[in-house]
Amino acid sequence: MDKDFIQGEVLLINKPLKWTSFDAVNKIRCLVKHKLGVKKIKIGHAGTLDPLATGLLIVCTGKFTKKIDEYQAFDKEYTGSFFLGATTPSADLETEVDKTFDISHLTEELIRNSTNKFIGTFHQTPPIYSAKQIDGERAYEAARKGRSIEMRSREVTISEFEITNINLPTIDFRVVCGKGTYIRSLAKDFGEALNCGAYLSVLCRTRIGEYSIDDAISIEQFEKEIKDKNILE
């Protein structure tokens, strides 16, 4: 691993389950600072992943942190699973199921055809349990305190949305979308379109622009390589 972290590097990291994006960046920052013997170095990521999501996280160091906005604008691909017939306040597994619904009316044709309603550009409301800032506070912080907040909808674009497997009450999907799209909100809205409720049970980001999860390394692998190999200062 011949890396020049000061001049700038782009690292492709496979974020572990239950780690925040900040956890991953902070771990990498600590490893790099220790290796280089410096007190400060610029390191950031290009697009947050929820703690319960895994997958590709682009981490930029040094002067390459100026490219973060560019990477954030790229289309992203996700794969994962929706659980049909129930909802949660967070639209994923962070919170407990609050409502259940009958799914006996669901057919494969209905499920697959309903994806067409979400292809194109439309307005989507971010989840209450999200990192979006509302009046200087993260939305999830207010939600966890039980406070009611207004989440304003915003324009998003989904170019591809396909159901890859159906094994009710779970369905697997693949989505290609633009900046700012929340897959948890898609799960909630998709459940409403099917008149049965849904929440996101599994999520993995598989691609950002031309960068693929296939080329990413784990935090453990990065730690091993940075300790074993020469790093440029």
Q: Biggest alpha carbon distance in the chain?
A: 62
Percent of the chain predicted with pLDDT > 70: 87
> 23 an active-site residue?
no
Residue 228's pLDDT is what? Answer: 78
Yes or no: domain 76-208 corresponds to CATH 3.40.630.30: no
Q: How confident is the model at residue 136 (pLDDT cuts 50, 70, 90)?
A: low
Given the residues 2, 4, 50, 102, select the one marked as catalytic. 50
Reply yes or no on whether the pLDDT at 153 is more than 90: no
Domain extents in the chain: 10-73+211-228, 76-208
Letter string b/e over residues 147-174, b meaning 16 or more CB atoms within 10 A of that residue's CB:
eeeeeeeeebbbeebebeeeeebebbbe
Query: What are 88-129's pLDDT values in tens digits?
Result: 988 999 999 999 999 999 999 999 999 999 999 999 988 776
Q: What mean pLDDT value characterizes the chain? A: 90
8, 10, 12: which is closest to 57 by C-alpha? 12
One of 3.40.50.720, 1.20.58.190, 3.30.2350.10, 1.10.645.10 is the CATH number of 10-73+211-228, namely: 3.30.2350.10
Reply yes or no on whether the pLDDT at 131 is more than 90: no
Reply yes or no on whether the pLDDT at 133 is more than 90: no
Same fold for the pair 10-73+211-228 and 76-208: yes
Residue 189's pLDDT is what? Answer: 97
Residue 15's pLDDT is what? Answer: 98
Residues 112 and 82: beta-carbon distance below 8 Å: no
Residues 188-200, mean pLDDT to the nearest whole number: 97
Strand partners, 79: 174, 204
